Structure 1
Amino acid sequence: MQHLVLPTRALKVVNKSIELFHYNGFHLVGIDRIVKESEIPKATFYNYFHSKERLIEMSLTFQKDGLKHEVMSIINVQKELTLVEKLRKIYYLHADLDGLYHLPFKAIFEIAKTHPKAYQTVVDYRNWFINEIYNLLLKSNENASKQDAHMFLFVIDGAMVQLLDPNKPDERKRLLEYFLLGFG
């Protein structure tokens, strides 16, 4: 999906949907609730989005675009940071229940079979992310492998799973530090 240009009312619906999906999941939030909480007629919803899957795809695209912008800023704009500092910032950007990655992470478990086109947005982001991390790792370690980049994403995903369990302590720092031992 290319850059989205939406009217203000449609953006309001996307933002409200992101909030609703974030806190309630994709399956528990229907079009009727989105329409009611966004204060728009159902016909307007269908005029803008055509389907719930299209709205989910747009919501995930907004999150994906925000994440890409932040990751690229850390990698390319914050040049004074070391590799480890960049990895830390990227890690905490993602391993955050209130952050931009929470909704795409949730989508991995909730929409793969029911909304495959929207799910592809998450797959595309994860593939892009792995490539960016791999390129970042290569800049300071010529022996870095694509598997290292995959492992970094798995560490992020593991941190997210732990954060979602209210009975588990926050182990984000320990998980990250264990990964970073090899890239000191």
Structure 2
Amino acid sequence: MSDKRQLVLETALTLFRAHGYHAVGIDRVLAESGVAKMTMYKYFPSKNALIEAVLNERDLRFRRSLLEFVNEVDDPREKIRALFLWHHCWFKEDSFNGCMFINAVAEFPEIDSSIRQASINHKALIQDFIGSILNQVLATEISQRLSAQFSQLLDGATIAAQVAGDRMAAFLAWRSAVGLLLLEGVQIELGNSFESS
């Protein structure tokens, strides 16, 4: 990947995450990256193309970080807990400003928007990943249903952490997840790992 392209991408990702998509113009991305306009348009022919590239990059980083965190434990039940604990740690980061994909859909709500589609794709991949973990302790049909419910719990927790500053939002979502698992015959202790993280 070109150094100039990567520089524009990194700068845009940082700015969009902190300030939103409409609030950040191309001129600001250029000014803060130090890349010439012609060079930027060589790699990103429009602002929407840049936003899509940023979302694709964020998707890769998000899923890689989540996967690495979850794979630090071997017990499938602990992997389920790790999904929520990862979010708990993310909510506490100084750079946390909500989900870039939820924010993107809020700013680009058009049904046929490619930016909206990139966000939908990301959420589908995360739900599939959650399902693959649940499938280690539950039947496939149940895993699919619970993965949708867990995805909604985590998205809700993300919004609560962003809007209300609820630092324990992921733990509250985890409490709900434990209850859903118990209904399916899977018992997991709540644990105190959230308090120490």
TM-score normalised over the length of structure 1: 0.83
* Aligned 8 A contact 2:76 2:136 in 1: no
**Counterpart mapping for 1:19-30 below 5 A:** 19-30=14-25
What's the counterpart of residue 8 of structure 1?
3
1:42 aligns with 2:37: yes
- Which of 81, 89, 95 lines up with 1:88 in the alignment? 81
**5+ unaligned residues in a row in structure 2: which ranges?**
189-197
CA 1:87 to 1:19, structure 2 compared with 1: closer, same or farther past 3 Å? same
Deviation at 1:91, TM superposition (A): 2.5
Alpha-carbon separation, structure 1, partners of 2:58 and 2:165: 28
Verify the 8 A CA contact 1:53 1:115 in the aligned structure 2. no
Runs of 4+ in structure 1 displaced over 6 angstroms? Answer: none
Match 2:162 to one of 161, 164, 177: 164
Structure 1 window deviating more from structure 2 (60-69 vs 137-146): it is: 137-146
Q: 90-99 or 15-24, which moves further after superposition? A: 90-99
Give the residue type in structure 2 aligned to 1:171: A
Please give the per-residue CA displacement for 1:67-111, whole angstroms capped at 9, x wherever unaligned: 222343355x4352332x212322243453446972223223222
Matches within 5 A, 1:97-116: 97=91, 98=95, 102-113=99-110, 116=113
Residue number in structure 2 paired with 1:64? 59
Q: Please give the secondary structure, in 2, of the residue aligned with 1:47.
A: helix
Name which of 61, 72, 80 aligns with 1:78. 72
Q: Judging changes above 3 Å, is the alpha-carbon distance between structure 1 residues 135 and 105 closer, same or farther for their aligned structure 2 residues? A: same
SS in 1 for 2:136: helix
The structural deviation recorded for 1:161 is 1.2
**Would you say 1:120 and 2:117 are equivalent positions?**
yes
Q: Which string of whole-angstrom CA distances, capped at 9 and with x for unpartnered residues, describes residues 148-180 of structure 1?
A: 111111111111111112465633212212212
Pairwise CA RMSD: 2.5
**Separation of aligned partners in 2, 1:50 and 1:68:** 27
Residues 163 and 101 of structure 1: is their aligned pair in 2 closer, same or farther, counting only changes over 3 Å?
Answer: closer
Instruction: Report the residue type matching 2:161 in the other structure.
Output: L
Q: What is the TM-score when the length of structure 2 is the normalising length?
A: 0.78
- Give distance in 1, aligned partners of 2:133 and 2:32: 42
Paired position in structure 1 for 2:134:
137
- Aligned positions, number: 177
Residues 66, 100 of structure 1: 8 Å contact kept = no
Q: Is 2:20–2:103's contact at 8 Å kept on the other side of the alignment?
A: yes
